[in-house]
Every structure is written in C-alpha cells, then in structure tokens.
C-alpha cells in the first residue's frame, strides 16, 4: 500500500474476527481515539464488547461485508482464517495489507514454500492427499513425525503425532489435504514478532521462549535463553524478508524452533500473536498499539522491553473461574480476562503477565 496520511482521530477501524485478539486491538484503538467495528459469524465474539458496532454474519455474506466496509476507514483482521474472498471484497484503499498475506498463511504448505523461497528452513515435509501419500511420507520422512491438516488447524487441533510405525497404523488420513512433517528436535521454541509500517520501517520485539502443551501455547518468557538469543538475528532477517515480500503493514509473527542446526521455521501468523501478549505491560509499546499505529499511518512506537524478566502464562478453561485470586499475589501480576462465557477445556480464557525489575 502506498504511504498515506495518518487516519485522524474519530476514524473507524474494521476488524475481521471477534476473539480476544480483536478485543485487545480495539482497546488500543480506543486509547488512540479511534472506534472499531467488528465482523465475525455468530458466536462468543468477545471483541464486540470493545467495539462500537459488530456485524454478526457469515463470512460469505457479500452484502453484509459491503455494509461493514462502507462504515470503515481501514480494515484489518485478528483471525487468520478469514476467507480471502471476504477480505478481497474490501476496497483496496481501505486495506493496508492485501489478502495475499492471509492466502499464504492459511495453508501450511504454502507458508512453508513461501518462507523456503526466501531462504528459510522448515522441517522436512510432504503434502498428503491420500492414504497412499501418507504411507509414502512415513517411508521417506520416517518417524517421529506429525500429520497436520493443511488448513484451519490451531492450538494443536487437526494434528496427530506419530511416534513410530506401530502408532502410524492407528492413524487414518482424515480425508482432507494434510502435511506430514518430521518432528524437530529443538532446544527451545520462539517467535519473532515484528511491526512493519507502510513506508517499510520494521521494528522487532524481543523474542520470548515459548512453551507449548498439546500444541497450544502455555507460557512465554524473557530472557529467552542462549539458544534463542544466538538464533534470533537469523530468524529476524527471514521474518523481515517475509514482511517485505508481502508488502505487509502491521504486526506479523513467525514461529521457530531453535535447533542445534539453527532456526527452523514452523509457521507464520499475519496478525498479533498470543506470544506477544506480554508486550502490553512489558514493552514500551504493545503489539496491539503498534498494529493500530501501523495500519492507521501513525509513527511506530518503541518496542524495547521494560523489565529484566517477563513471564506470560495463558489462563485456560476452568482456571479462569478462580483467576481473580491472582490479583492478591505480590509483585503486581497483570491479569487479563477475555470475557468468554463458557470456560471450556483447552479454551484460552485470559492471561497473566508477571514482570521483574524495571530496566533503565
Ligand atoms: P503448530 O500448530 O504447527 O504451531 O504446532 C503447535 C506446536 O506443536 C508447536 O509449537 C510445537 O510445540 C509442536 N510442533 C508442531 N510441529 C512440530 C514439529 N515438526 N516438530 C516438533 N514440534 C512440533
């Protein structure tokens, strides 16, 4: 997108998606004098509470998407599985980043190919369209590995771990396009989160070490440790190339495994990210605020970390019911609850960020 004049206060930001990321984006937008309008299919759209209006319609309701677009000065998304057609229905002058970023990131095969073409390295993998392909992939890639649906998997859903040949016999091809990839032996997992402005300026936040359980992020910490620190420059260089290649505007996340052979790319999210929630209190400017700044043409904020240690943990399922107890802890824990109505098992309900000594 061409660099354009900053959006004046009072302008309206449209957000596709209704989850906690949209809620926190809208909270930052409000602080900067903007109002937000959301769009998502009916559901527990917790972003709606922070929005001045909310369209609850199917993604493919062209009339509703047009009516939504007509009320917005700029449109962004908080959910990477927004159908590309819905985003393409938005006039280009209101889209800081084109739907191409979504198109690439929505498919595990295409995002790996895209990143490999830019010089990145992913785990050995093969496309799986049938039971026979799966058998061939087990043969050539070997075990342990992971079978993943190519599209729409998240938080460990749509994934089957294959420890050995014996276990593979119990796993059936699920009938839609998948990817089989070798399990990477890693020392640490980390994410590179950057913000890119329309003029091409890029800023990075510090990379946390991330811990996942059952495929879902549970914790992000700083300092991230020597493995991450030694590999973050290479990972950043790659993430910057990805952002440039997509003419990306806003916050972009790439996830990596830190291995004995350097950083291995896992996946990308063309949006703010769970592993960046610590930036709300822990960095000079949060990922949410910088995303809003970037898409509205405002100057980017500093991304420096403000504390010697950071520990962000997700609050999952029924943990949320007693979460207010955290407020009584020493050391000013920063609690965020997303207002979700049902504390279902495995559902991200909130997070808490604990910080150490202030830097500087
Ligand atoms: P994903 O949905 O691809 O981000 O996977 C979720 C999590 O599962 C990752 O953050 C890792 O902890 C684990 N995982 C996924 N793919 C691999 C892999 N090829 N090797 C090792 N761990 C993996």
CA of 111 to the centre of ligand 1 (A): 14
Q: What is the structure's pLDDT at 222?
A: 98
CA of 157 to the centre of ligand 1 (A): 11
Residue with the smallest CA separation from ligand 1 atom 18 is 183
Neighbours of 88 (CB within 10 A): 15
Give SS3 for 190.
strand
* Rounded-to-integer distance, Cα 256 and Cα 232, Å: 9
CA of 106 to the centre of ligand 1 (A): 16
* Cis before 257 (ω within 30): no
**Tokens for 95?**
């889209």
Q: What is the structure's pLDDT at 3?
A: 59
Residue of 95, 70, 76 lying closest to 24 (CA atoms): 76
User: Which regions of the chain are under pLDDT 50?
Assistant: 1
Q: Is 188 in the pocket of ligand 1 (CB under 6 A)?
A: no
Q: Is 184 in the pocket of ligand 1 (CB under 6 A)?
A: yes
Q: Is 111 in the pocket of ligand 1 (CB under 6 A)?
A: no
Q: What is the structure's pLDDT at 277?
A: 98
Q: Is 78 in the pocket of ligand 1 (CB under 6 A)?
A: no
* Rounded-to-integer distance, Cα 83 and Cα 56, Å: 15
Residue with the smallest CA separation from ligand 1 atom 19 is 183
Residue with the smallest CA separation from ligand 1 atom 15 is 215
Q: What is the structure's pLDDT at 353?
A: 98
* Rounded-to-integer distance, Cα 343 and Cα 123, Å: 34
Q: What is the structure's pLDDT at 158?
A: 85
Q: What is the structure's pLDDT at 177?
A: 94
Q: What is the structure's pLDDT at 5?
A: 84
């Amino acid at each position: 997108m061409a660099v354009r004049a900053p959006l004046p206060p009072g302008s309206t930001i449209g957000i596709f998606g209704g989850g906690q990321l949209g809620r926190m984006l809208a909270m930052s937008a409000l602080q900067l004098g903007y109002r937000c309008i959301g769009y998502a299919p009916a559901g527990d759209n917790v972003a709606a509470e922070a929005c001045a209006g909310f369209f609850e319609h199917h993604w493919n309701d062209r009339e509703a998407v047009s009516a939504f677009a007509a009320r917005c000065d700029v449109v962004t998304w908080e959910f990477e599985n927004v159908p590309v057609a819905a985003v393409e229905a938005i006039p280009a002058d209101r889209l800081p980043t084109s739907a191409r970023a979504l198109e690439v990131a929505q498919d595990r095969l295409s995002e790996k190919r895209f990143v490999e073409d830019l010089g990145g390295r992913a785990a050995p993998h093969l496309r799986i369209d049938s039971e026979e392909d799966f058998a061939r992939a087990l043969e050539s890639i070997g075990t342990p590995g992971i079978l993943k649906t190519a599209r729409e998997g998240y938080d460990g859903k749509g994934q089957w771990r294959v420890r050995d040949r014996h276990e593979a016999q119990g796993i059936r091809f699920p009938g839609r396009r998948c990817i089989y990839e070798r399990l990477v032996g890693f020392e640490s997992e980390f994410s590179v989160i950057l913000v890119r402005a329309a003029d091409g300026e890029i800023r990075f936040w510090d990379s946390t070490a991330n811990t996942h359980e059952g495929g879902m992020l549970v914790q992000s910490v700083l300092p991230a440790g020597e493995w991450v620190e030694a590999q973050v420059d290479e990972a950043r260089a790659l993430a910057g190339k990805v952002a440039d290649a997509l003419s990306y505007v806003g916050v972009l996340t790439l996830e990596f495994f830190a291995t004995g052979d350097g950083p291995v790319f896992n996946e990308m999210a063309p949006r703010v990210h769970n592993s960046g929630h610590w930036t709300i209190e822990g960095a000079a400017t949060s990922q949410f605020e910088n995303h809003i700044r970037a898409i509205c043409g405002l100057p980017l904020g500093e991304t420096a970390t403000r504390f010697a240690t950071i520990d962000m943990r997700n609050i999952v399922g029924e943990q949320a019911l007693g979460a207010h107890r955290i407020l009584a802890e020493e050391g000013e824990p920063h609690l965020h609850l997303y207002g979700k109505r049902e504390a279902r098992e495995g559902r991200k309900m909130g997070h808490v960020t604990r910080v150490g000594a202030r830097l500087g």
